[in-house]
Structure 1
Amino acid sequence: MQRSAVAGRPKPVEHAETSEASEAEPELKPVDPRAKLRSFRVRALSTIALIGTFIGVIWAGHVPLMFFILLIQFLVARELFRIAYLAQRSKRPLPLLRTQQYFFFFTAVFWLYLRFIKKNLLVEVSSDKTLARLFYWALKHHSLISYSLYMAGFVGFVLSLKKGLYLHQFAQYAWTHMIILITTVPTSFFVSNIFSGLIWYVLPAFLIVGNDICAYLAGFFFGRTPLIKLSPKKTWEGFFGGFLGTLLLAFFLSALMSRYTWLTCPRKDLTVFKGLDCTPDEVFVPDTYTLPDLASHLPAGLASLAAAAAEVLPAGLRGWLADLTFSVAPIQLHALSLATFASFIAPFGGFFASGFKRAFRMKDFGDTIPGHGGVTDRFDCQILMAMFAYCYYFSYISQPEVTLGDVLSQAIKLDDHDQILLVGKLANLLVGEGLIPGDVVDALHRHLGERFTWDLPDS
Structure 2
Amino acid sequence: MQRENSFNHPSSPSARLRHRRRSNEGIVEDLKSNGSHLLVNDRNKYKSMLIRAYSSVWMIGGFALVIYLGHLYIMAMVVVIQIFMARELFNLLRRTHEDRQLPGFRSLNWYFFFTAMFFVYGRLLSQRLVNTVTTDKVLYQLVSSLVKYQMAICYFLYIAGFMWFILTLKKKMYKYQFGQYAWTHMILIVVFTQSSFTVANIFEGIFWFLLPATLIVINDIAAYFFGFFFGRTPLIKISPKKTWEGFIGASVTTIISAFMLANIMGRFSWLTCPRKDLSTGWLHCDPGPMFTPEFFTLPGWIPTWFPWKDVTILRVQWHAICLGLFASIIAPFGGFFASGFKRAFKIKDFGDSIPGHGGITDRMDCQMVMAVFSYIYHQSFVVSQSITVESIIDQVLMNLTFEEQQLLFTKLGQMLQDRLFLQ
Cα shift at 1:430:
10
Kept in 2, the 8 Å contact 1:94–1:169? The answer is no
Report the equivalent of 1:232: 240
- 2:382 paired residue number: 397
Say whether residues 1:421 and 2:412 are aligned partners: no
1:170 and 2:178 matched: yes
One-letter identity of the residue aligned with 1:364: D
> 2:332 corresponds to which residue?
347
Name the structure 1 match of 2:13.
Answer: none
Q: Measure how far apart 1:383 and its partner are.
A: 1.0
- Aligned-residue offset at 1:239: 0.3
Larger Rg, first or second structure (1 or 2): 2
Q: Distance in 1 between matches of 2:249 and 2:228?
A: 11
**Helix, strand or coil for the counterpart of 2:242?**
strand
Shift of 1:414: 4.3
AA aligned to 2:284 is D
Moved more, 121-130 or 253-262: 121-130
Structure 1 length as normaliser, TM-score?
Answer: 0.76
For the Cα contact (< 8 Å) 1:119–1:405, is it kept in 2?
Answer: no
- Extract unaligned runs of 5+ from structure 2: 1-32, 299-309, 419-423
Residues 387-396 or 407-416, more deviating: 407-416
| Kept in 2: contact 1:125–1:136 (CA 8 A) | no
Please tell me whether residue 335 in structure 1 is matched to residue 327 in structure 2: no
Deviations 1:186-205 (A, max 9, x none): 11111111111100011000
Which residue number corresponds to residue 281 of structure 1?
288
Per-residue deviation, 1:333: 1.1
* TM-score computed with the length of structure 2 as normaliser: 0.82
2:211 equivalent in structure 1: 203
Answer 1 or 2: which has greater helix percent: 2
Q: Deviations over 1:275-298 (max 9, x none)?
A: 11111121112224699xxxxxxx
The letter for the 2-side match of 1:265 is C
User: Which stretch of structure 1 is more off in the superposition, 349-358 or 29-38?
Assistant: 29-38
Return 30-39 or 100-109, whichever deviates more: 30-39
Contact 2:269 2:284 in 1 (8 A): yes
Q: Aligned residue pairs: how many?
A: 375
Q: 1:22 aligns to what?
A: none
What secondary structure does 1:328 align onto?
strand
> Residue 423 of structure 1: CA displacement?
4.5
Letter aligned with residue 157 of structure 2? L
Tell me by how many angstroms 1:81 deviates: 0.6
- Alpha-carbon distance in structure 1 between the residues aligned to 2:218 and 2:263: 16
- 8 A Cα contact 1:123 1:404, kept in partner: no
Cα distance in 1 for partners of 2:83, 2:204 equals: 23
RMSD in angstroms over aligned alpha carbons?
2.9
Runs of 4+ aligned residues of structure 1 deviating over 4 Å after TM superposition are 25-34, 288-291, 403-406, 414-420, 426-432
Q: Indicate the residue corresponding to 2:16 in structure 1.
A: none
| DSSP-derived class of the 2:350 partner | coil
1:219 aligns with 2:227: yes
> Given the alignment of the two structures, is residue 365 of structure 1 paired with residue 373 of structure 2, yes or no?
no
Partner secondary structure for residue 287 of structure 1: strand
**2:261 is the counterpart of 1:250:** no
Do residues 265 (structure 1) and 273 (structure 2) align? yes
Indicate the residue corresponding to 1:145 in structure 2.
153
- Higher mean displacement: 105-114 or 252-261: 105-114
CA 328–411 in structure 1, closer or farther in 2 if over 3 Å, else same = closer
User: What aligned pairs does 1:12-23 form with structure 2 within 5 A after superposition?
Assistant: none
Deviations 1:387-429 (A, max 9, x none): 1000000111012464657524445434787445224335768
- Taking the TM superposition and a 5 Å limit, the aligned residue runs for 1:105-144 are 105-144=113-152
**Amino acid of the residue matched to residue 72 of structure 1?**
I
- Secondary structure of the residue aligned to 1:227 is strand
Matched, 1:74 2:83: yes
User: Relative to 1, partners in 2 of residues 1:215 and 1:416: Cα closer, same or farther, differing over 3 Å?
Assistant: closer
Structure 2 SS opposite 1:422: helix
Q: 1:115 to 1:394 in 2, by over 3 A?
A: same
